[in-house]
Structure 1
């Protein structure tokens, strides 16, 4: 009787494993191969080898627990109505993307950034040192249930003196990241460019938080985890995780893959992001 029970358990585990593998095999058909990089693009300048699923499993990466399972957003700056709406929509998106509760902390003033980590950029714009925000501001924000923390600014960012700017920056060890809305809104955020800016913000925030969960830059296919050097390159890449990166993320968070896709499709439709909604619909069709 005991041997029979054990056999049934093994059979159930095998069926469950086969079902999960079927999901990733199915959505793999929707992966789009990367074109050879052009001069100026990320992979042209950074000869990255990528990260296989097996390599990911061998790395030390954060996994949600009952005690630590909430993603936090820390706004820093003076945000107008449209920018505040972008932050609210980003919170909702990240909660769906990672299938983890996501909360917004009380906004902090730009006054917390000291003068020695501020500069005037090449376009006459003020910039904050991204690393300082990670190491001296976000590190102090320690809600007991925090698994990841994302800072958002309306001021431009730079990573080090020799770099012109950076869209976002993340720390694997501290599980913190920061991104700026500044360059995403093409000068000024308006109703006309709202969706374009939102699409960019969703890509960059999910990308940086993806790093916090151990995902390296993707070289396997067109993917939100691709590295980018410019807004045009960010715009060219998809908001979707490729099948390999989906498998990595799901191995740690262990969410329902079909539910996640359906939630994402609903979000994109509600916010008139039609191309992204179509990508989720295509993945859903593949697993039916």
Structure 2
């Protein structure tokens, strides 16, 4: 028996175990892309965070919430156009459908149009700028709730009419009933009431941000206070324009826990969309996330 031989073997085994235990744990997808999160600036007068004292929603807070989740037989996002849309507006709605299917990695369909005649006179008003506005709550409760398809996880109305949430408010970009999985977005203000080739991309970017924001709420995500993110609250179009279409790492973690998609495939799908539509700033952000995964 050679004691020296066994000492050498013991030393090699101990060294191997030590190296194995000290090996750096591989980062998760969320930990990896967190480096690309951009810190929010200090809240300024007029901004959403300045006028709303909201609680930071942790991942643990999110997990405790009762929220809408897709399940077999109830996993389709539906868009419900309401109003009279021209060819350019229909193109915008179709691109929004395509974007949402990539953002949430869920099948997304457009339902046949509903006419503006479904709105009674008592939910309409003429705003000081001269345009007609529709009470957003009526759209949710009396239109969408009654028409939500059985296989829908979410139903999002899209109207060409301006919306208002209550008499003392001027307007709202969108509104949702989160536990019911219904919401509505108006495209009116995204193009100052007139969509054209020159403002199409700006209007489209606003629509995809507001639509994904409202649907994100339906999936249980509160207004984001973690980083610049599509889930940040917004008081105005300039504030919406400032916020990214990208969901920050924390909001993506929340989303992916309810929607078990492949994060890398999702990024590839979003990259293709942003590239095709020449939304170059969002394309660059998506590429930055993808580059970290290589």
* Superposed pair shares fold, TM > 0.5: yes
98, 101, 106: which one aligns with 1:95: 101
TM-score, normalisation: structure 1: 0.92
Q: TM-score, normalised on structure 2?
A: 0.90
Q: Aligned match of 1:119 in 122, 125, 134?
A: 125
1:268 aligns with 2:278: no
- For each residue in 1:109-154, what CA deviation from the matched residue of structure 2 results, as whole angstroms up to 9, or x when unmatched? 0000000000011211100000000000000113221100000000
**2:9 corresponds to:** none
Do residues 182 (structure 1) and 188 (structure 2) align? yes
Matching residue within 138, 141, 153 for 2:144 = 138
- 1:167-202 CA distances to partner (integer Å, 9 max, x unpaired)? 000111211000000000123111011000000000
CA displacement, residues 27-72 of structure 1 (integer Å, 9 cap, x when unaligned): 1000000001110000000011221111101111122111100000
More deviation, 120-129/241-250? 120-129
Q: Aligned runs of 1:36-115 on 2, under 5 Å? A: 36-115=42-121
Gaps of 5+ in 2: 1-24
Distance across 1 between alignment mates of 2:148 and 2:61 = 30
Report the 3-state secondary structure (helix = DSSP H, G, I; strand = E; otherwise coil) of the residue aligned with 1:28: helix
**Structure with bigger gyration radius:** 2
Q: Which runs of 5+ in 1 are unaligned?
A: 1-17
**1:239 corresponds to which of 245, 266, 279:** 245
Aligned length, in residue pairs: 270
Deviation at 1:286, TM superposition (A): 1.2
The Cα of 1:256 is off from its aligned counterpart by: 0.1
1:241-260 aligned at under 5 Å gives the runs 241-260=247-266
The partner residue of 1:28 within 29, 34, 57 is: 34
Moved over 2 A (4+): none
Contact 2:56 2:224 in 1 (8 A): yes
Deviation string 1:237-284 (CA, Å, 9 cap, x unpaired) is 100000000000000110000000010000000011111111100000
Matched, 1:206 2:212: yes
